[in-house]
Chain A
Amino acid sequence: MTTTVRLRKIGFGALALAFLAVAGSSFYHQRYLPEAVVLGEGVTAVTRLSEYGESLRGTANDIHLYVLEGKAPGGTILVFGGTHAEEPAGRLAAWMLVEHATIERGRLIVALSANRSASTVTRPGAAYPPEFTIPTAWGGQRFRMGDRWTNPLDQWPDPEVYIHYPSGQYLAYVDIRNLNRAFPGRPDGTLTERTTYAFMELIRREHVDVAIDLHEAELQYPVISTIVTHQRGQDMATMVSMTLTDLEGFKIGTEFSPRNLHGLSHREIGDHSQAVSLLFEAPEPFLDATRGRTNADVLLTGKDEFVVQAGKRGLLFETIDEHGWPIAKRVGRHTSSVAQTMETWTEDHPDRGIVARGIPRYKDLVRNGVGFYLRDPAVAPAGRVVYE
């Protein structure tokens, strides 16, 4: 090897190491970014998912569960955000519930990061920002931007094809790390399957009546701005959709969960437990493959010229204009939909009613923004801050 070649190798090696050090620091900080949750007055207990699946203890998915129990007995509703951690409106809507909801009757259980592992990684090739900040009057709160799939650091390798348990249905290999393809899970399966199994155990043991999974979708995806419901929830979902469209100022449809498409929460929770399962989809232009510049600004404003162009060509299943789809609208759709579901459920099941107050709804969020409803951990009472 000549001196020139040796020097060139050393130079390139040093450059690569410098890049790796800077990049490694960014990956580390994203994985361990603490996200503050200020427990609202309604939170009566905080527990862990490992209470329902012992094998999760000590893993990235031994997540917090926030319990809001009313004084009067009633039904139980479970709301989980962060099934897909690249869909932040679901997580933020769950945040709104934990920091502001108070339950007068029945019980609300909330998970902010259903697949916490997925919130610690971004997708190679997708150029996602590692985090985003929601501006607040007290400065701003930082959140991890995540991915659709469990972090490969927590679950790897993938098989050559993913065969769903227990249906035996063949799915894409990478979906073995997709929480919303791994229901109802197994106690001794992959991390993702053990997570969904623990959720199922939670639903069964706590006699959950309604389970709601919060999502966002690209505008090129046909299942968007809708409530996907198990057949046992069809009447309720239709009533929720009609009421929201009439009263809240946004349109939301209903879709029925296909009976032979397995692994999804709206199918498996309904099939394997007593709970009625619903999945809410809000529009997120950031996920569209035709999106332009990829950064936290586009993630939060939902403004994208290229997606608008695709819409003009008739390629989208939801409208979009120069105002985009701001995060406040997306979060507001979810909080209003959750609140309306509780109301409709209570009307239909007066013996197992769930009555809540204090949930910021669509119009509140559009008027005030998401940051208005995020509480400052610095001034929270002692013992009332939890980190996700």
Chain B
Amino acid sequence: MSMTSEAVIVLGVMVAVYAAARAGRLSTELAMVAAALGGAIAGGYWFPARHVAEGAATYLDINLIFITATLFMNLLKASGGVAFVVRGLLRRFHRQRALLLAVLSLVLLVPGALTGAGSVTVLIVGGMVATVLGYMGIPKVRVAAIVFIIAGLSAAAPPVSLWAMMTAAGVNMPYVGFFWPLLIPCVAAALFTSFVLGWTGTATDIERALQELPEAPAGMSWWKVLAPFAVFLGLIVIGRQWPHATPVIGLPLMFAAAALVAWLVSPVPLRVGRLSLDTIEQLLPLLATLTCAGILVQIMTLTGVRGLMAVTAVTLPTAVVYGTLFLVLPVSEAVLMWGSAPVIGVPLVLLFNAIGLNPIVALAGMSLIWPLGDALPPTAIIGRLTVNIVGYEGPYGAFLRACAVPAIVIAVVGTLMVIYSTRLAQLAGL
């Protein structure tokens, strides 16, 4: 049997097992593992324990970044730091609608940018920002859309963009040069989203908003909020300034150091053990996704399915690829979540590289489009989470329609970044 026939059969088995597992109400993560095991059996490998274990470790470093960064943000929230910042910004900017929208957009961008997870943005600052947006007279459905879209952009924003990191790792490309190609469109799209969806409303009702927002504890101050960030940035600067005189500690330990400082300067006592457990519980679905996606990718590589997808992608007419990015990326995200990066992203970047596009800018463009799929079934984890946190109780379809305008603009910008990546190459600074 030819390599192609074999791989097609294994792929067919994987898709069938995945569909059956989902129909049997297994979670997306377990369905991915089931599909991987089904593919391994169909490929004649039976239960390849080594490959399952090795695949599960593929994103270990990313998981560690995820855990420590989220613990840091959770400690900051529990210490009252996040409430302090939101209340402060509201007081300062409530008379200037444009400025208030802009700073709220930036507040929404920070947690996801640091952790790589839109869900962390929604959980840490989503509720508070939604409260302020609500008192600016913006309907709940549009508030939910703003929080969801910017949460997705925050996940794509640097320094931690999991789609870019995972795809880059899959093509042996360093995760270097992504900062500006990700930051500029993410910030621009976030501002566009909040202005388009939040411009019309009423004057900000600051009294009621402040009443509803959680109180910042006595003793909280700007330096206490900024100190942990300063420690994190300081460690990065020291590592870059004196790289051969300082030990390599890695991003997870840097975030852990920032978390430690947030704990030490907190004006209220923090139950670190409890918060750590809560953090793991909060992240469990996402950690599971990364772990199970690693297993799936390993088995796809083992059986030749990844090669089949890669060679199919690199031999497709380029115009077809460009024209379907807006559909393929969000739909794959909806099905595989981050697993879509190594499965779909890797062959696409190989194609773009082969036809002379700039792979960094092209991958940055793709990273903008991927998170749009987080509101789509079958998973829709972040879309549903946003709706719950914001307290929107209307039909889910109306929420999706509210997201449509910024989503279309983001998809167009992302696609144009791919097509014109060579002209935008200077953004990568390489």
B239: nearest residue on chain A (CB-CB)? A159
Interchain Cβ contacts within 8 Å, total number:
156
In the bound complex, CA of A293 to CA of B1 (Å): 12
- Cβ of A309 within 8 Å of any chain B Cβ, yes or no, is yes
Q: Contact: B310 with A125, CB < 8 Å?
A: no
- Cβ of B38 within 8 Å of any chain A Cβ, yes or no, is no
- Cβ of B4 within 8 Å of any chain A Cβ, yes or no, is yes
Contact with A along B33-61 (1 / 0, CB 8 A): 00000000001000101111111011011
- Cβ of A289 within 8 Å of any chain B Cβ, yes or no, is yes
Nearest Cβ in chain B — how far from A316, in angstroms?
9
Within 8 A of B (CB), among A245-271: none
B350: nearest residue on chain A (CB-CB)? A289
Which residue, A125, A158, A291, A293, has most C-beta atoms of chain B within 10 A? A125
Nearest Cβ in chain A — how far from B393, in angstroms?
30
Q: Contact: B3 with A305, CB < 8 Å?
A: yes
Contact with A along B252-268 (1 / 0, CB 8 A): 11100000000000000
In the bound complex, CA of A23 to CA of B51 (Å): 8
Interface residues on B, range: 35 or more
Q: Contact: B250 with A292, CB < 8 Å?
A: no
Asked whether A125 and B244 contact (CB < 8 A) given A290-B307, A305-B3, the answer is no
In the bound complex, CA of A174 to CA of B254 (Å): 17
- Cβ of A189 within 8 Å of any chain B Cβ, yes or no, is yes
- Cβ of A315 within 8 Å of any chain B Cβ, yes or no, is yes
Contact with B along A227-247 (1 / 0, CB 8 A): 000000000000000000000
Q: Contact: A165 with B304, CB < 8 Å?
A: no
Question: With a CB–CB cut-off of 8 A, which chain B residues contact A163?
Answer: 240, 243-244
- Cβ of A137 within 8 Å of any chain B Cβ, yes or no, is no
Interface residues on A, range: 35 or more
- Cβ of B218 within 8 Å of any chain A Cβ, yes or no, is no
Interface 9-residue window, one of B19-27, B128-136, B292-300: B292-300
Within 8 A of A (CB), among B345-385: 346-347, 350, 354
Question: With a CB–CB cut-off of 8 A, which chain A residues contact B169?
Answer: 125
Question: With a CB–CB cut-off of 8 A, which chain B residues contact A130?
Answer: 50
Interface 9-residue window, one of B171-179, B180-188, B412-420: B171-179
- Cβ of A171 within 8 Å of any chain B Cβ, yes or no, is yes
Q: Contact: B314 with A19, CB < 8 Å?
A: no
- Give the secondary structure class of B's interface: helix
Q: Contact: B354 with A157, CB < 8 Å?
A: no
Q: Contact: A310 with B311, CB < 8 Å?
A: yes
Nearest Cβ in chain A — how far from B104, in angstroms?
28
Which residue, A26, A220, A292, has most C-beta atoms of chain B within 10 A? A292
Asked whether A127 and B249 contact (CB < 8 A) given A290-B314, A306-B307, A313-B315, the answer is no
Q: Contact: B243 with A159, CB < 8 Å?
A: yes
Question: With a CB–CB cut-off of 8 A, which chain B residues contact A295?
Answer: 302
Residues of A at under 8 Å CB distance from B?
18-20, 22-24, 26-27, 122, 124-127, 130, 148, 156-161, 163, 165-166, 168, 170-176, 186, 189-190, 220, 289-295, 304-306, 309-310, 313, 315
Sampled A-B contacts (18; CB under 8 Å): A22-B50, A26-B49, A27-B53, A125-B301, A126-B298, A127-B302, A163-B243, A171-B174, A172-B176, A173-B174, A173-B175, A186-B244, A289-B170, A289-B172, A289-B307, A304-B3, A306-B307, A306-B311
Having A125-B301, A289-B310, A290-B311, one finds 18 other A-B pairs with CB under 8 Å, namely A19-B53, A27-B53, A126-B301, A127-B299, A157-B250, A157-B252, A158-B248, A158-B250, A159-B249, A160-B239, A289-B307, A290-B307, A290-B350, A292-B304, A309-B311, A313-B315, A315-B314, A315-B354
